[in-house]
Structure 1
Amino acid sequence: MSPVADTRAEDRDAADLVRTRDRDRYWSALFAPDAARPALLALYAFNAELNHVLAVTREPLAGQIRLKWWRDAIESGDAGEKTGSPVADALNAAVVAHNLPRERLLAMVDARVPELFGDSPADNAEFAGLIEDSQVFELAAAALGDRSDTTKAAALEAGLALGILETLRALPSSVARGRLPLPLALLEAKGVDFEAMGRGELSPELRAALADLRADATAALQRFRDKQAHIAPHARAAFLPLALVAPYLQAMAAPSFHPLRDSVTLNPLGRFWRIWRAARRNKL
């Protein structure tokens, strides 16, 4: 099989994985220019694979071994070596095609290590440092041709908004596995009963703490919107996943929503429509 055919097969595998595990980002990538779409899907597939490591790992050592494999795959790709993983090979092809910085990919791997041990962040600052996921946005924008400092600053806000949202969306599974990914200082200030929370019991104090975190996500989203005019128009497709942050947060604020039990869902057609509208307007 020729190298061109290999690359196409790897791109299809990456696209299939994103479509299965991260449909919102898959739909967002459809609105990127054809030349950059495989790179975006490779990045999103890589991100999904890292998240999958956290989701299925029960022992930190096993997770560290898997993350070490990803570090090696990224570093070996610098020498043009095949890894045997379609997603890793598609990612390395994207790095070469768009001159993406491998150190940012390695930072994505390293950011997952603390989560393997399940330690709770002490305060909001530590929480933000753990969950902020700007690298995906920054690398996607770079693949679309915008590497400016203003776009990197926007990516920081985008990563914080989406990072808070994804942490809250995953809260039921995190608590079920004995993990508490929320800032302890905030929970203590609100008077949250940690043992009751561990049993899946919802209290007014916990609702108040989660409302504060949703407000933080909303504020980060607004700061991104204040910066988006400085993002090159051809690179704004990198930020289309943010089109769903506000509706997801709104769904979580519903009185009937149980944040320790329910998985927040939105109508698939409505999700696609919001992404389509943001792409058509070229702003969020």
Structure 2
Amino acid sequence: MTEAPETGTTASDGAASGAVAGLVERGDPDRWRTAMAAPPDARPGLLTLYAFNLELARASWVASEPLLAEIRLQWWADAVAEIYDGRAPRRHEVVEPLAATIARADLPRRLFDEMIAARRLDAESPLADVTGYVDHTAGNLMELAARHLGAEGGALPVVRDFGRAAGIAALLRALPELAARGRAPLPPGLDPAALARDGLAALDRARAHRDRVPRTALPALLPGWLAARTLRRAAAGETWLEPAPIVARGGLLWRAATGRWWT
């Protein structure tokens, strides 16, 4: 049995979905809440994708040095390669359900490989290509989630634009915490307001073609529910971008009920 370095316990198939749900609820509660808007039979796959993303995102934070982060990420790269090579998935609480999710929705390997490659840059300060990083992290994750929920064809470029907008918004909200941890992802000379305007342009493109996205894909887009608010404020030069929890949750509930993911 192959073990992941310094990671969670293994789980049997029967306990995997519960373990994955608990992992996401603790580590990424915002995405956990949005997954609850999906039909019950679609939730395990969404939560598995979010757990995979969480494992990648944690790599550079839990490792004591860059080499250990690289070892963790290479473990995940090898696990993904084995799944696509048709080998039995590693006995791990995320890898086993990930293999099932990939098979069920015929998810492209490229999206996973790009996510892992982008996370190798997490220790870089600053990032050389901020929008490329956002596209390959938040954008790829949103596309995987949307594909899992049945989005295809002309819907995918719309999802990608919204994923870019949501990813830029999330990065801008995270800047104070990243700075407190000694990270400065934005290169010198890149004004956060200018980055926010890039995000708004992507949001406008997504909004213009929102009719291409099936309503069944709504839960995949809900993680971006704060994008429009955040980007407008950042473009106006505001630096405190976190809404009050009651405002954020109220906005999420409204979007889930109305399907208006783009506002």
Q: Pick the TM interval, shorter chain.
A: 0.7 to 0.9
Superposition pairs for residues 36-115 of structure 1, below 5 Å? 36-78=42-84, 79-115=86-122
Change (3 A) 1:254 1:176: same
8 Å contact kept, 1:28–1:237: yes
The structural deviation recorded for 1:135 is 1.0
The residue number in structure 1 matching 2:252 is 275
Letter in 1 for 2:88: E
1:40-74 CA-to-partner distances (Å, cap 9, x unmatched) read 11111111111111333452211111100111111
TM-score using structure 1 length:
0.77
The structural deviation recorded for 1:274 is 1.8
Letter in 2 for 1:111: A
Paired residues in the alignment total: 248
Superposition pairs for residues 1-284 of structure 1, below 5 Å? 6-78=12-84, 79-121=86-128, 126-132=129-135, 133-148=138-153, 150-186=154-190, 209-249=191-231, 265-284=242-261
8 Å contact kept, 1:135–1:155: no
Gaps of 5+ in 2: 1-10
Gaps of 5+ in 1: 187-208
**C-alpha distance in structure 1 between counterparts of 2:200 and 2:42, whole Å:** 29
Letter in 2 for 1:282: G
TM-score using structure 2 length:
0.83
Q: Which moved more, 1:65-74 or 1:165-174?
A: 165-174
Letter in 2 for 1:283: R
The structural deviation recorded for 1:17 is 1.5
Letter in 1 for 2:93: P
1:127-164 CA-to-partner distances (Å, cap 9, x unmatched) read 2112223111111111111221x222112212211221
Q: Which moved more, 1:82-91 or 1:63-72?
A: 82-91
**C-alpha distance in structure 2 between counterparts of 1:138 and 1:258, whole Å:** 29
8 Å contact kept, 1:138–1:151: no
Identity of aligned residues (%): 35
1:65-93 CA-to-partner distances (Å, cap 9, x unmatched) read 11001111112234352423212222122
The residue number in structure 2 matching 1:197 is none
How much is the aligned-residue C-alpha RMSD, in angstroms?
Answer: 2.5
Change (3 A) 1:140 1:164: same
8 Å contact kept, 2:192–2:234: no
The structural deviation recorded for 1:35 is 2.2
**C-alpha distance in structure 2 between counterparts of 1:253 and 1:128, whole Å:** 16
More helix by share: 1
**C-alpha distance in structure 2 between counterparts of 1:112 and 1:60, whole Å:** 12
**C-alpha distance in structure 2 between counterparts of 1:138 and 1:184, whole Å:** 30
- Give the 3-state SS of the residue equivalent to 2:255 in structure 1: helix
